Every structure is written in structure tokens, then in C-alpha cells.
Amino acid sequence: MLSRQVATGSPLILSDFDIRAYLSSGRLVITPLTEEIVRENGLDLRLGEGYCLLNESNRTLVIGEDDVGSYYSCHKTEEYITLNPSSHYLLHTVEYVKMPPELMGFVELRSTFARLGFLMPPTIVDAGFEGQLTVEVRTPPFPTKIRTGTRFLHVVFAKVNTPAINLYRGKYQGQKGVTLPRW
């Protein structure tokens, strides 16, 4: 039987000082890492070149059984991503993230994008996860163009009270580019 002493207190949000210490120790890995993405209390991650538009359809999707690929139009671009108004997209980060057992991350849109009307459901980066992040974004009611490499997400890292025992080993481990839903 596994025995652990339970720590008390709240998770600790990492400052830029803490994040730099984690990065220099190799406990937290962000590739490629540029100084501009290290912020006061988190990292700004940049928009990658791939994107998938969730298409409208009258077909019924059977969750867990149907191939979801036919519900998306996926593309890759080098300079700009052009987004339709009031649409759902899957986007990914340039950066590949590798999380240690004692950290987790809260992912949000940078406030500039939220102020423009972009929406994103809450997204968590689990302890032990590694890969590029894929996020779902709802666009504002007007067409937009975003240059690839633009800082568009903000990740706040929290140090949990005790390191996770069950590290993330799920179906999205090691993902690169946009990753569609998997059963």
C-alpha cells in the first residue's frame, strides 16, 4: 500500500523567477524557448502553422465510434492564419512543452484576443504531459488574420502540494501540430 504524507496549503503560482529556475534546471522544458515568452507569472505561447476548422454538418457524430476527421478541414500555412467569423477552430502552439510531476498549467487566451471576442474553454496542462498544445477557439463575429508565431496563449504554472503519482500518459502525449479528438 502506498503511503504519502499529505501537504497542506494551496498550490503555488510560479513567478517569472520560479519559471526561469525550472527552465534552467531542465525540470520544465519549453522548445523552442525565447526570452519574449517568459512573462511576469507565466509563459506566452505562440501560434503554430497548423489549424483545423470544425465544419457544420447535419450528420450525427457517434461519440467514441465515428472518425472525427471528416468533420474538420485541416490546413497548414506559413505566414498568416485566416479565420472565419463565429467559427470553431483547433489551433496549436509553436512550443513543445514537457511538464514535471510537481507542476500543472492553466491555459488561457491572452487578454488581447479575449477583448477582440475570441473565446476558449478552460484548458489544463497536466503534470507529466509533453507535446505541443492543441486548443479549441471560437472566433469573433468578423473575419480575422493572425500571423503565425504571434503570442496568443498564456500559461500560468502552479506547483501542486505534492508531486503527482499518476503522471499524464494519455492519448495526446507527445502530440505535434493540431491533434483532432481521439477515442
In a domain, 134, yes or no: yes
Residue 26 lies in a domain: yes
Contact 131, 173 (CB under 8 A): yes
123 assigned to some structural domain: yes
Split into its structural domains, the chain has a count of 1
Inside any domain, residue 183: no
Specify the CATH number for the domain of residue 52: 2.70.40.10
Residue 171 lies in a domain: no
pLDDT in tens, 57-114: 999 999 999 999 999 999 999 999 999 999 999 999 999 999 999 999 999 999 999 9
Residue 4 lies in a domain: no
pLDDT value at 147 more than 50? yes
Global pTM value: 0.92
Q: Is residue 3 part of a domain?
A: no
> The domain containing residue 81 runs over which residues?
12-57+68-159
Distance CA(104)–CA(31), nearest Å, equals: 17
- What's the CA angle centered on 123, arms 165 and 180, to 5 degrees? 95
Active-site residue, 136 included? yes
Domain membership flag for residue 47: yes
Find the mean pLDDT for residues 43-62.
97
Catalytic residue among 49, 108, 130, 136: 136
In the chain, which ranges are continuous DSSP H helix? 16-25, 111-115
- Of the pLDDT bands very low, low, confident and very high (cuts 50, 70, 90), residue 10 is confident
Is there a contact between 16 and 41 (Cβ–Cβ < 8 Å)?
A: yes
Residue written as grid cell 511538464: 99
CA-to-CA distance for 122 and 120, rounded, in angstroms?
7
Give the list of residues 6+ apart from residue 166 with CB closer than 8 angstroms, or none. Answer: none
- If you average pLDDT over every residue of the chain, what do you get? 95
